[in-house]
A and B are shown apart, each in its own frame.
Chain A
């Protein structure tokens, strides 16, 4: 399960973080869905995602893959995972998806109140919600919250806490800037919903709070 509902961080930061899934349903609208999914991905590109992956290619936006390669890869059953970094963009996307009316399930993860407002503005009536009731169990073993706000941006936990600490250290010692550091963190994410724009903002916030033991 892509953990998009468990993304951590401040509400202010989550205001600029909306993941979107384009998700055909096996046995219901799977056969012949490639054309519809391709059309929806064309719309995603028009609006301008912060990151994206199609399951038929598994290369995120920062891997050097070209949009034509992603579009050409799309076959029946292809699912698409993408993320947008502004309320305006997600609104524009949903307006265009509604007009396109391709009949493929669209899932948005974000602040409930914001998605409610946007849905009302666009004239959509959301169907189902998956609520996060948080983390339980041996929570004392978890890395600190300021590290988790990065690691939970990968829907499959492929961004390691140690990598976050290493990137913070490299920015602190001027070996990377905050955007380059964000792209390092986005690289392991195989589900394409690591938002490097949000990550850059968060790095700029946390880096001054850390010290390094050697240069």
Chain B
């Protein structure tokens, strides 16, 4: 995002709206720090500027900077990168898709959230650690899958590493018996990270919204705890007649 200096009146109203804290005064006008900007579009979308001084220049959509927008602007859809959006339907449609089935767990590591954002070096630290531990079950429909240069080592494409995004999600489906090893790997990489990540575990429920003991016991044994609130698929979905083969 850029601010047209000849239009900006220097009121500064836009500055607190920026999730990246990238807008500041420069010569009594607001300016966007291009390195810090996530291209999330919040400044433009909220219409907070009284003189319409924000512009999204064409280079926002140029590779590799385009990654910033596709990973940070919730209203954007992918185009030039060949990367399919930011995440997948994950547990939200699992009652229909059964992507995470019996005996499996889904694990999501969302790096940069909440609030801080990150550069892509942090993703590589995690993908490398997972690959070194023999964990290669990266979700193929998640955009990070196509950002990895070598799945054996977890190396990302080098031209991406200096980009900054609000967040990106490493998603995997693994057998339940691999959950302990994965959590151990994640614990080891935590001290290396500059940013933060949120950690999720997806599992099928037993009767009466009962979380399988095996899953909770593994989480607790590895020193993690779960929050009292969660995202719960209520089991009301089904395959439509129009889409049955």
Contact = CB atoms under 8 A, between A and B. Distances in A.
Contacts of B110: 1, 3
A188 to B, nearest CB: 5
B198 interface: yes
A104 B242 CA distance: 13
B92 A23 contact: yes
A48 to B, nearest CB: 19
Interface string B223-240: 011111111111111111
B228 A11 contact: yes
A184 B126 CA distance: 36
A148 interface: yes
Contacts of A162: 15-18, 21
B233 A127 contact: yes
A75 B213 CA distance: 41
A109 B228 contact: no
B96 A25 contact: yes
Contact of B237 (A105, A136, A155): A105
A97 interface: yes
- Among B21, B227, B238, chain A packs the most CB atoms within 10 A around the CB of B227
A6 interface: yes
Given A135-B196, A188-B17, A190-B45, A128 B113 contact: no
B225 A133 contact: yes
A182 to B, nearest CB: 15
B196 A157 contact: no
A111 B226 CA distance: 12
A130 interface: yes
B114 A128 contact: no
Given A132-B230, A160-B19, A1 B242 contact: no
Contacts of B16: 160, 162-163, 165-166
Interface in A116-135: 116, 119-120, 124-135
Interface stretch (A137-145, A173-181, A194-202): A137-145
A2 to B, nearest CB: 8
A108 interface: yes
B79 interface: no
Interface residues of A, number: 78
B89 A103 contact: no
A25 B45 contact: no
Contact of A133 (B199, B209, B240): B199
A84 interface: no
A172 B122 CA distance: 39
A109 B122 CA distance: 28
Contact of A116 (B169, B209, B219): B209
A32 B240 CA distance: 9
Nearest to A162: B16
B221 interface: no
B172 interface: no
B91 to A, nearest CB: 4
B19 A158 contact: yes
Interface of B: 15-19, 21, 40, 42, 45-46, 74-75, 86-87, 89-97, 100, 106, 108, 110-111, 113-116, 122, 166-167, 169, 186, 190, 193-205, 207-209, 211, 219, 224-240, 242-243
